[in-house]
Structure 1
Amino acid sequence: MFSQPDFAGYTRNYSKESATQEFFRIFGFSPEVLRESAYRALRSATQTDDMHSQLSGAGSRFYHTFVEEVRAELDRLDEWTAKRDDDNQSSPRAYRADGLALAFVQGNSATGDLNKVLGLKKPLGNVTLVELQQSNPVPNREMTFEIFAGTAKSRPQTMWLVLYRREDDTVKLEVSLPAGVSEDGKVTGWDKRIILDDVTMSGSITEERTDERGEDGEVGVAISAR
Protein backbone atom coordinates (compact mmCIF):
# COMPACT_ATOMS: atom_id res chain seq x y z
CA MET A 1 0.00 0.00 0.00
CA PHE A 2 1.34 3.43 -0.94
CA SER A 3 1.21 6.49 1.30
CA GLN A 4 1.22 9.93 -0.27
CA PRO A 5 2.48 12.97 1.66
CA ASP A 6 -0.04 15.39 3.09
CA PHE A 7 0.31 19.14 2.53
CA ALA A 8 -0.38 21.59 5.35
CA GLY A 9 1.15 24.91 4.25
CA TYR A 10 4.04 24.81 6.71
CA THR A 11 7.30 22.90 6.98
CA ARG A 12 7.18 19.64 8.89
CA ASN A 13 10.61 18.57 10.13
CA TYR A 14 11.74 15.07 11.07
CA SER A 15 15.03 13.77 12.43
CA LYS A 16 16.44 10.70 14.22
CA GLU A 17 13.76 8.05 14.91
CA SER A 18 10.90 10.18 13.62
CA ALA A 19 12.78 10.66 10.34
CA THR A 20 13.22 6.91 9.90
CA GLN A 21 9.54 6.27 10.58
CA GLU A 22 8.30 9.06 8.32
CA PHE A 23 10.65 8.09 5.51
CA PHE A 24 9.48 4.49 5.57
CA ARG A 25 5.83 5.56 5.78
CA ILE A 26 6.14 7.64 2.62
CA PHE A 27 8.59 5.69 0.48
CA GLY A 28 8.14 2.12 1.67
CA PHE A 29 11.83 1.27 2.14
CA SER A 30 14.48 1.99 4.75
CA PRO A 31 16.45 5.27 4.60
CA GLU A 32 19.54 3.13 5.21
CA VAL A 33 19.45 2.49 1.46
CA LEU A 34 20.44 6.13 0.93
CA ARG A 35 23.01 6.16 3.72
CA GLU A 36 24.70 2.98 2.55
CA SER A 37 24.80 4.28 -1.01
CA ALA A 38 26.33 7.54 0.19
CA TYR A 39 28.95 5.61 2.14
CA ARG A 40 29.96 3.53 -0.86
CA ALA A 41 30.11 6.65 -3.03
CA LEU A 42 32.17 8.50 -0.42
CA ARG A 43 34.58 5.61 -0.12
CA SER A 44 34.96 5.45 -3.90
CA ALA A 45 35.53 9.21 -4.23
CA THR A 46 37.98 9.29 -1.33
CA GLN A 47 40.02 6.44 -2.78
CA THR A 48 40.18 8.32 -6.09
CA ASP A 49 41.78 11.40 -4.55
CA ASP A 50 41.04 12.57 -1.03
CA MET A 51 42.49 16.01 -1.82
CA HIS A 52 39.93 16.85 -4.51
CA SER A 53 37.24 19.36 -3.72
CA GLN A 54 33.50 18.88 -4.18
CA LEU A 55 33.69 20.62 -7.56
CA SER A 56 36.53 18.48 -8.88
CA GLY A 57 36.72 14.97 -10.25
CA ALA A 58 36.18 13.41 -6.84
CA GLY A 59 33.03 15.48 -6.32
CA SER A 60 31.65 14.38 -9.67
CA ARG A 61 32.57 10.76 -8.95
CA PHE A 62 30.75 10.92 -5.60
CA TYR A 63 27.56 12.26 -7.19
CA HIS A 64 27.38 9.75 -10.02
CA THR A 65 28.29 6.81 -7.80
CA PHE A 66 25.77 7.85 -5.15
CA VAL A 67 22.94 8.23 -7.67
CA GLU A 68 23.63 4.91 -9.38
CA GLU A 69 23.99 3.06 -6.07
CA VAL A 70 20.59 4.34 -4.90
CA ARG A 71 18.87 3.60 -8.21
CA ALA A 72 20.37 0.10 -8.39
CA GLU A 73 18.97 -0.64 -4.93
CA LEU A 74 15.53 0.73 -5.82
CA ASP A 75 15.46 -1.29 -9.03
CA ARG A 76 15.37 -4.38 -6.81
CA LEU A 77 12.02 -3.33 -5.38
CA ASP A 78 8.91 -4.18 -7.39
CA GLU A 79 7.29 -0.78 -6.78
CA TRP A 80 10.30 1.31 -7.87
CA THR A 81 12.21 1.79 -11.10
CA ALA A 82 15.24 3.86 -12.03
CA LYS A 83 13.87 4.87 -15.41
CA ARG A 84 16.78 5.50 -17.76
CA ASP A 85 15.21 7.17 -20.78
CA ASP A 86 16.49 10.26 -22.57
CA ASP A 87 15.11 12.80 -20.11
CA ASN A 88 16.58 10.81 -17.25
CA GLN A 89 20.23 11.02 -18.27
CA SER A 90 21.05 14.58 -17.18
CA SER A 91 18.39 14.66 -14.45
CA PRO A 92 18.53 11.19 -12.88
CA ARG A 93 15.65 10.10 -10.70
CA ALA A 94 13.69 7.08 -9.55
CA TYR A 95 9.93 6.55 -9.87
CA ARG A 96 7.44 4.53 -7.88
CA ALA A 97 4.48 2.84 -9.56
CA ASP A 98 2.01 5.44 -8.24
CA GLY A 99 4.07 8.35 -9.61
CA LEU A 100 6.04 9.31 -6.50
CA ALA A 101 9.52 10.38 -7.59
CA LEU A 102 12.97 11.03 -6.16
CA ALA A 103 15.39 13.44 -7.83
CA PHE A 104 18.99 13.98 -6.72
CA VAL A 105 20.41 17.46 -6.11
CA GLN A 106 23.26 19.08 -4.20
CA GLY A 107 22.10 21.21 -1.27
CA ASN A 108 23.63 24.27 0.36
CA SER A 109 25.32 24.41 3.78
CA ALA A 110 21.94 23.97 5.50
CA THR A 111 21.56 20.43 4.19
CA GLY A 112 20.91 18.17 7.16
CA ASP A 113 20.61 21.12 9.54
CA LEU A 114 17.13 22.19 10.67
CA ASN A 115 18.50 25.41 12.19
CA LYS A 116 19.45 26.84 8.79
CA VAL A 117 17.53 27.87 5.69
CA LEU A 118 17.72 25.07 3.15
CA GLY A 119 18.51 25.85 -0.46
CA LEU A 120 20.13 24.28 -3.50
CA LYS A 121 23.75 24.56 -4.57
CA LYS A 122 22.66 25.33 -8.13
CA PRO A 123 19.29 26.05 -9.81
CA LEU A 124 17.31 23.02 -10.92
CA GLY A 125 17.68 21.71 -14.45
CA ASN A 126 14.92 22.09 -17.03
CA VAL A 127 13.49 18.59 -16.68
CA THR A 128 13.35 18.65 -12.89
CA LEU A 129 11.91 22.16 -12.93
CA VAL A 130 9.06 21.17 -15.22
CA GLU A 131 8.24 18.07 -13.20
CA LEU A 132 8.19 20.10 -9.99
CA GLN A 133 5.86 22.60 -11.66
CA GLN A 134 3.61 19.68 -12.48
CA SER A 135 3.80 18.50 -8.86
CA ASN A 136 2.96 21.97 -7.53
CA PRO A 137 0.60 23.44 -10.15
CA VAL A 138 -0.34 27.11 -10.09
CA PRO A 139 -3.67 28.02 -11.76
CA ASN A 140 -3.42 29.75 -15.16
CA ARG A 141 0.35 29.41 -15.32
CA GLU A 142 1.97 27.98 -18.41
CA MET A 143 4.70 25.46 -17.73
CA THR A 144 8.25 26.60 -18.38
CA PHE A 145 10.05 24.82 -21.21
CA GLU A 146 6.97 23.51 -23.03
CA ILE A 147 9.17 21.04 -24.88
CA PHE A 148 9.18 18.90 -21.72
CA ALA A 149 5.61 19.60 -20.60
CA GLY A 150 3.96 16.70 -22.42
CA THR A 151 6.19 14.15 -20.72
CA ALA A 152 5.65 15.69 -17.31
CA LYS A 153 1.87 15.86 -17.71
CA SER A 154 1.76 12.21 -18.74
CA ARG A 155 2.95 11.08 -15.31
CA PRO A 156 1.32 13.10 -12.53
CA GLN A 157 3.36 12.68 -9.38
CA THR A 158 4.80 14.13 -6.24
CA MET A 159 8.51 14.78 -6.55
CA TRP A 160 10.85 14.73 -3.55
CA LEU A 161 14.47 15.86 -3.62
CA VAL A 162 17.30 13.78 -2.23
CA LEU A 163 19.65 16.54 -1.08
CA TYR A 164 23.27 15.81 -0.26
CA ARG A 165 26.28 17.86 0.73
CA ARG A 166 29.75 16.40 0.95
CA GLU A 167 32.13 17.99 3.45
CA ASP A 168 35.50 16.21 3.29
CA ASP A 169 34.86 12.74 4.72
CA THR A 170 31.26 13.45 5.77
CA VAL A 171 28.05 13.46 3.76
CA LYS A 172 24.96 15.26 5.02
CA LEU A 173 21.67 13.90 3.71
CA GLU A 174 18.01 14.76 3.75
CA VAL A 175 14.96 13.98 1.64
CA SER A 176 12.71 17.00 1.36
CA LEU A 177 9.52 18.01 -0.41
CA PRO A 178 9.49 21.40 -2.18
CA ALA A 179 6.41 23.54 -1.57
CA GLY A 180 7.03 25.61 -4.68
CA VAL A 181 9.57 26.45 -7.36
CA SER A 182 10.33 29.68 -9.19
CA GLU A 183 10.65 30.09 -12.95
CA ASP A 184 14.44 30.29 -12.65
CA GLY A 185 14.75 26.92 -10.94
CA LYS A 186 14.93 27.93 -7.28
CA VAL A 187 12.88 26.22 -4.58
CA THR A 188 10.71 28.85 -2.88
CA GLY A 189 9.86 26.84 0.23
CA TRP A 190 9.60 23.39 1.76
CA ASP A 191 6.56 21.37 2.78
CA LYS A 192 8.52 18.68 4.61
CA ARG A 193 12.14 17.92 5.53
CA ILE A 194 13.32 14.46 6.57
CA ILE A 195 16.84 14.70 8.01
CA LEU A 196 18.97 11.55 7.83
CA ASP A 197 22.00 10.86 10.02
CA ASP A 198 25.35 11.97 8.64
CA VAL A 199 27.46 9.45 6.78
CA THR A 200 31.18 9.37 7.61
CA MET A 201 34.12 7.25 6.59
CA SER A 202 34.71 6.28 10.20
CA GLY A 203 31.07 5.65 11.10
CA SER A 204 29.38 2.27 11.47
CA ILE A 205 27.56 1.66 8.20
CA THR A 206 24.95 -0.99 7.71
CA GLU A 207 25.59 -2.95 4.57
CA GLU A 208 24.54 -6.60 4.76
CA ARG A 209 21.03 -7.06 3.41
CA THR A 210 18.62 -9.57 1.95
CA ASP A 211 15.73 -8.96 -0.39
CA GLU A 212 13.12 -11.56 0.42
CA ARG A 213 9.37 -11.60 0.10
CA GLY A 214 7.31 -12.28 3.21
CA GLU A 215 4.00 -14.06 3.54
CA ASP A 216 2.09 -10.83 2.94
CA GLY A 217 3.84 -10.30 -0.39
CA GLU A 218 5.80 -7.26 0.79
CA VAL A 219 9.51 -6.99 0.05
CA GLY A 220 11.53 -7.01 3.23
CA VAL A 221 15.01 -5.52 3.45
CA ALA A 222 16.97 -6.96 6.35
CA ILE A 223 19.87 -4.83 7.51
CA SER A 224 22.62 -5.59 10.02
CA ALA A 225 25.51 -3.48 11.31
CA ARG A 226 28.90 -3.94 9.74
Structure 2
Amino acid sequence: MDLVQADFVGNARVYSDESSNREFERIFGFPPQLIRDAVRMALRSYMESDDIHTQLSGPGSNLYHTLVEQVRAALDENDAWTANRSVDNHTAPRAYRRDGLGLTFAQGTNSTGNIREELHLKKRVGSVTIVELQRAGGTQQVELAFDDVEKEILARPQTLWFLVYCRDGNTVHLEVSLPSGATDDGKITGWDKRIVLGDVSMTDVAVEERTDERGEDGEVGVSISAR
Protein backbone atom coordinates (compact mmCIF):
# COMPACT_ATOMS: atom_id res chain seq x y z
CA MET A 1 0.00 0.00 0.00
CA ASP A 2 1.37 3.39 -1.00
CA LEU A 3 1.94 5.98 1.70
CA VAL A 4 1.84 9.70 1.11
CA GLN A 5 1.88 11.63 4.36
CA ALA A 6 -0.16 14.82 4.37
CA ASP A 7 1.75 18.08 4.32
CA PHE A 8 0.97 19.30 7.84
CA VAL A 9 2.94 22.21 9.25
CA GLY A 10 6.20 20.93 10.77
CA ASN A 11 5.91 17.48 9.22
CA ALA A 12 7.83 16.06 6.29
CA ARG A 13 5.88 14.80 3.31
CA VAL A 14 6.82 11.14 3.03
CA TYR A 15 6.50 8.99 -0.08
CA SER A 16 6.98 5.24 -0.19
CA ASP A 17 6.33 2.22 -2.41
CA GLU A 18 4.95 3.11 -5.86
CA SER A 19 4.23 6.69 -4.83
CA SER A 20 7.94 7.17 -4.14
CA ASN A 21 8.85 5.94 -7.63
CA ARG A 22 6.37 8.32 -9.25
CA GLU A 23 7.39 11.29 -7.12
CA PHE A 24 11.10 10.67 -7.64
CA GLU A 25 10.77 10.51 -11.43
CA ARG A 26 8.48 13.55 -11.48
CA ILE A 27 11.07 15.63 -9.61
CA PHE A 28 14.36 14.35 -10.99
CA GLY A 29 13.36 13.31 -14.51
CA PHE A 30 14.92 9.84 -14.43
CA PRO A 31 13.81 6.55 -12.79
CA PRO A 32 14.93 5.78 -9.23
CA GLN A 33 16.29 2.45 -10.43
CA LEU A 34 19.40 4.37 -11.52
CA ILE A 35 20.06 5.18 -7.85
CA ARG A 36 19.28 1.66 -6.68
CA ASP A 37 21.63 0.17 -9.29
CA ALA A 38 24.42 2.53 -8.21
CA VAL A 39 23.89 1.52 -4.58
CA ARG A 40 24.00 -2.16 -5.52
CA MET A 41 27.31 -1.72 -7.35
CA ALA A 42 28.74 0.18 -4.37
CA LEU A 43 27.53 -2.53 -2.00
CA ARG A 44 29.16 -5.22 -4.12
CA SER A 45 32.43 -3.29 -3.99
CA TYR A 46 32.06 -2.98 -0.21
CA MET A 47 31.45 -6.70 0.25
CA GLU A 48 34.55 -7.52 -1.74
CA SER A 49 36.73 -5.37 0.52
CA ASP A 50 38.11 -6.03 4.00
CA ASP A 51 35.16 -6.19 6.40
CA ILE A 52 37.12 -5.68 9.61
CA HIS A 53 37.15 -1.90 9.15
CA THR A 54 34.43 0.41 10.39
CA GLN A 55 31.99 2.12 8.06
CA LEU A 56 34.00 5.34 8.30
CA SER A 57 37.17 3.81 6.87
CA GLY A 58 38.29 1.02 4.59
CA PRO A 59 35.26 -0.66 3.02
CA GLY A 60 32.91 2.04 4.33
CA SER A 61 34.88 4.71 2.51
CA ASN A 62 34.91 2.50 -0.57
CA LEU A 63 31.12 2.20 -0.39
CA TYR A 64 30.68 5.97 -0.27
CA HIS A 65 33.09 6.82 -3.07
CA THR A 66 31.83 4.05 -5.33
CA LEU A 67 28.24 5.21 -4.80
CA VAL A 68 29.14 8.80 -5.62
CA GLU A 69 31.01 7.87 -8.78
CA GLN A 70 28.34 5.43 -9.98
CA VAL A 71 25.57 8.01 -9.59
CA ARG A 72 27.58 10.79 -11.21
CA ALA A 73 28.68 8.56 -14.10
CA ALA A 74 25.07 7.59 -14.78
CA LEU A 75 23.87 11.19 -14.62
CA ASP A 76 26.64 12.32 -16.99
CA GLU A 77 24.81 10.30 -19.65
CA ASN A 78 21.67 12.36 -19.08
CA ASP A 79 21.72 15.58 -21.12
CA ALA A 80 19.82 17.48 -18.43
CA TRP A 81 22.30 16.60 -15.67
CA THR A 82 25.99 17.06 -15.05
CA ALA A 83 28.27 15.82 -12.30
CA ASN A 84 29.87 18.78 -10.61
CA ARG A 85 33.64 18.42 -10.48
CA SER A 86 34.46 22.03 -9.69
CA VAL A 87 36.28 23.51 -6.73
CA ASP A 88 33.74 22.64 -4.03
CA ASN A 89 33.34 19.08 -5.23
CA HIS A 90 36.37 17.69 -3.40
CA THR A 91 34.56 17.78 -0.06
CA ALA A 92 30.95 18.09 -1.23
CA PRO A 93 30.21 15.87 -4.26
CA ARG A 94 27.27 17.12 -6.27
CA ALA A 95 25.27 16.51 -9.40
CA TYR A 96 23.23 19.34 -10.89
CA ARG A 97 20.41 19.66 -13.37
CA ARG A 98 20.31 22.60 -15.77
CA ASP A 99 17.64 24.40 -13.74
CA GLY A 100 19.76 24.25 -10.57
CA LEU A 101 18.21 21.21 -8.91
CA GLY A 102 21.04 19.58 -6.98
CA LEU A 103 21.79 16.16 -5.53
CA THR A 104 24.38 15.56 -2.82
CA PHE A 105 25.32 12.51 -0.76
CA ALA A 106 25.14 11.87 2.97
CA GLN A 107 25.44 8.94 5.35
CA GLY A 108 22.43 8.55 7.60
CA THR A 109 21.68 6.70 10.81
CA ASN A 110 19.34 3.74 11.32
CA SER A 111 16.47 6.16 10.78
CA THR A 112 17.27 6.16 7.07
CA GLY A 113 14.45 4.60 5.06
CA ASN A 114 12.31 4.11 8.17
CA ILE A 115 9.02 5.94 7.72
CA ARG A 116 8.31 5.78 11.46
CA GLU A 117 11.49 7.63 12.41
CA GLU A 118 12.68 11.19 12.01
CA LEU A 119 15.59 11.22 9.58
CA HIS A 120 19.03 12.10 10.98
CA LEU A 121 22.40 12.32 9.25
CA LYS A 122 25.46 10.64 10.74
CA LYS A 123 27.55 13.82 10.46
CA ARG A 124 26.78 17.50 10.30
CA VAL A 125 26.97 19.08 6.87
CA GLY A 126 29.91 21.19 5.72
CA SER A 127 30.22 24.91 5.10
CA VAL A 128 29.45 24.77 1.37
CA THR A 129 26.24 22.87 2.01
CA ILE A 130 25.26 25.24 4.84
CA VAL A 131 25.56 28.21 2.51
CA GLU A 132 23.54 26.49 -0.22
CA LEU A 133 20.73 25.52 2.15
CA GLN A 134 20.58 28.87 3.92
CA ARG A 135 20.56 30.82 0.67
CA ALA A 136 17.86 28.57 -0.72
CA GLY A 137 15.84 29.31 2.41
CA GLY A 138 16.33 33.06 2.18
CA THR A 139 18.92 33.48 4.93
CA GLN A 140 22.55 34.51 4.48
CA GLN A 141 24.18 34.01 7.86
CA VAL A 142 27.31 32.14 6.79
CA GLU A 143 30.01 33.58 4.57
CA LEU A 144 32.74 31.51 2.95
CA ALA A 145 36.36 32.53 2.74
CA PHE A 146 36.68 31.09 -0.77
CA ASP A 147 35.44 33.64 -3.31
CA ASP A 148 35.34 31.20 -6.23
CA VAL A 149 33.13 28.78 -4.29
CA GLU A 150 30.78 31.52 -3.13
CA LYS A 151 30.44 32.98 -6.62
CA GLU A 152 29.53 29.56 -7.97
CA ILE A 153 26.83 29.08 -5.32
CA LEU A 154 25.38 32.54 -5.96
CA ALA A 155 25.29 31.90 -9.72
CA ARG A 156 22.89 28.99 -9.56
CA PRO A 157 19.37 28.66 -8.20
CA GLN A 158 19.38 25.95 -5.58
CA THR A 159 17.10 23.16 -4.52
CA LEU A 160 19.52 20.77 -2.91
CA TRP A 161 18.34 17.21 -2.22
CA PHE A 162 20.23 14.62 -0.16
CA LEU A 163 20.77 11.04 -1.27
CA VAL A 164 20.90 9.48 2.21
CA TYR A 165 22.14 5.94 2.73
CA CYS A 166 22.87 3.71 5.71
CA ARG A 167 24.53 0.30 5.47
CA ASP A 168 23.15 -2.39 7.75
CA GLY A 169 25.12 -5.58 7.19
CA ASN A 170 24.77 -6.45 3.51
CA THR A 171 21.78 -4.16 3.04
CA VAL A 172 21.65 -0.43 2.34
CA HIS A 173 18.68 1.64 3.54
CA LEU A 174 18.03 4.41 1.05
CA GLU A 175 16.06 7.61 0.56
CA VAL A 176 16.30 10.92 -1.27
CA SER A 177 15.17 13.81 0.92
CA LEU A 178 14.86 17.58 0.83
CA PRO A 179 16.08 19.47 3.92
CA SER A 180 14.23 22.54 5.12
CA GLY A 181 17.42 24.26 6.22
CA ALA A 182 20.62 24.10 8.25
CA THR A 183 22.02 25.90 11.27
CA ASP A 184 25.32 27.76 11.21
CA ASP A 185 27.08 24.76 12.75
CA GLY A 186 25.78 22.33 10.11
CA LYS A 187 22.79 20.67 11.76
CA ILE A 188 19.82 19.96 9.48
CA THR A 189 16.79 21.73 10.97
CA GLY A 190 14.17 19.46 9.41
CA TRP A 191 12.94 17.89 6.20
CA ASP A 192 10.36 19.17 3.74
CA LYS A 193 10.04 15.93 1.80
CA ARG A 194 11.32 12.35 2.05
CA ILE A 195 11.19 9.92 -0.87
CA VAL A 196 11.92 6.47 0.55
CA LEU A 197 13.52 4.22 -2.07
CA GLY A 198 13.51 1.09 0.07
CA ASP A 199 16.31 -1.31 0.98
CA VAL A 200 18.88 -2.51 -1.53
CA SER A 201 20.78 -5.75 -1.14
CA MET A 202 22.76 -8.04 -3.39
CA THR A 203 19.90 -10.53 -3.58
CA ASP A 204 16.87 -8.27 -3.92
CA VAL A 205 16.11 -5.67 -6.54
CA ALA A 206 14.50 -3.46 -3.91
CA VAL A 207 12.93 -4.35 -0.59
CA GLU A 208 10.07 -2.28 0.76
CA GLU A 209 11.01 0.38 3.29
CA ARG A 210 11.04 -0.67 6.92
CA THR A 211 7.93 0.09 8.95
CA ASP A 212 9.28 -1.04 12.30
CA GLU A 213 9.25 1.50 15.11
CA ARG A 214 12.60 0.61 16.64
CA GLY A 215 15.18 3.35 17.00
CA GLU A 216 18.92 2.91 17.17
CA ASP A 217 18.69 2.23 20.91
CA GLY A 218 15.74 -0.15 20.64
CA GLU A 219 13.24 2.44 21.88
CA VAL A 220 9.92 3.06 20.16
CA GLY A 221 10.24 5.41 17.19
CA VAL A 222 8.84 8.89 17.06
CA SER A 223 6.79 10.55 14.37
CA ILE A 224 8.53 12.30 11.49
CA SER A 225 8.61 16.03 12.13
CA ALA A 226 10.96 18.98 11.87
CA ARG A 227 12.59 20.09 15.06
Report the TM-score, using the length of structure 2 for normalisation.
Answer: 0.82
Tell me, in whole angstroms, the C-alpha distance in 2 between the residues paired with 1:199 and 1:179. Answer: 26
Question: Compared with structure 1, are the counterparts of its residues 142 and 129 closer, same or farther at alpha carbon in structure 2 (3 Å cutoff)?
Answer: closer
- Give the Å deviation of 1:72: 0.2
Q: What SS does structure 2 have at the residue aligned with 1:185?
A: coil
Paired residues, number: 198
- Structure 1: distance between partners of 2:10 and 2:156: 24
Rate the CA distance shift 1:186–1:114 in 2: closer, same or farther, 3 A: same
Matched, 1:56 2:48: no
CA deviation string 1:148-179 (max 9, x = no partner)? 43321111111001101011101011000001
Indicate the RMSD between aligned Cα atoms, in angstroms: 1.8
Question: 5 Å matches for 1:1-226?
Answer: 10-138=11-139, 141-145=140-144, 147=146, 148-204=149-205
What amino acid is the match of 2:34? Answer: V
In structure 1, distance between residues paired with 2:9 and 2:80: 27
Give, as a single letter, the amino acid of the residue that structure 1 aligns with 2:12: T
Please say if residues 134 and 141 of structure 2, whose CA atoms lie closer than 8 Å, have aligned partners that are also in contact.
no
Rounded Cα–Cα distance in structure 1 between residues aligned with 2:9 and 2:94: 25
Q: Do 1:8 and 1:191's aligned partners in 2 also have CA atoms closer than 8 Å? A: no
Range that drifts further, 180-189 or 59-68? 180-189
Partner of 2:214: none
What is the CA–CA distance in structure 2 between the aligned matches of 1:31 and 1:85, rounded to whole Å? 25
CA distance in 1, matches of 2:109, 2:28: 24
**CA contact 1:7–1:191 (8 Å) conserved in 2:** no
Gaps of 5+ in 1: 1-5, 206-226
Give, in whole Å, the separation in 1 of the partners of 2:188 and 2:123. 10
Gaps of 5+ in 2: 1-6, 207-227
SS state at 2:23 partner: helix
Letter in structure 1 aligned against 2:171: T
Relative to the length of structure 1, the TM-score reads: 0.83
1:99–1:157 contact (8 Å) kept in structure 2 = yes
Cα distance in 1, alignment partners of residues 64 and 92 from structure 2? 12
- The structural deviation recorded for 1:146 is 5.2
User: Secondary structure in 1 aligned to 2:48?
Assistant: helix
Q: 1:87 to 1:62 in 2, by over 3 A?
A: same
Kindly indicate whether the alpha-carbon contact (under 8 Å) linking 1:134 and 1:156 is maintained by their aligned counterparts in 2.
no
> Counterpart in 2 of 1:222?
none
| Pair 1:92–1:7, CA change in 2 (3 A) | farther
CA 1:117–1:10: 2 relative to 1, 3 Å = closer
